[in-house]
Amino acid sequence: MQQQAASGELGPGAVLDGGDTDTERRATYLELSLSLAGGLDAAALDTLYKAARPGIHEREPAVQKKSYKVGAASLLGAELFAPVAMGVAMWW
């Protein structure tokens, strides 16, 4: 992939961080969005849910798993992140 990036084959805006394959990058960015979800308001959580929903139907198990986690966090909202604020371990 690095050779493709150096040659310009992937295009000038290609994302190369987060893994070597599209699946790895998608799973990485879903996990990143999950870590940031605790500071989002209701409208942003709704947008996050809409962004994660297509991944539930993905063939790759890693993407499905991350999408379900992000979807659960989006639907549960502040109730899910309250234990973290109090220093209690999360349930997953």
More confident residue, 27 or 9: 27
- The pTM (predicted TM-score) of the whole model is 0.66
Q: pLDDT by residue (tens digit) across 28-39?
A: 989 888 888 888
Residue 77 pLDDT > 60 = yes
* Crossing angle of the two packed helices 22-36 and 61-76, in degrees rounded to 10: 20
Q: Mean pLDDT across the stretch 62-74?
A: 90
CA-angle at 62, arms to 55 and 37, nearest 5°:
65
Assess contact for 37 and 49: CB atoms under 8 A: no
Q: What letter does residue 11 receive in the DSSP assignment?
A: -
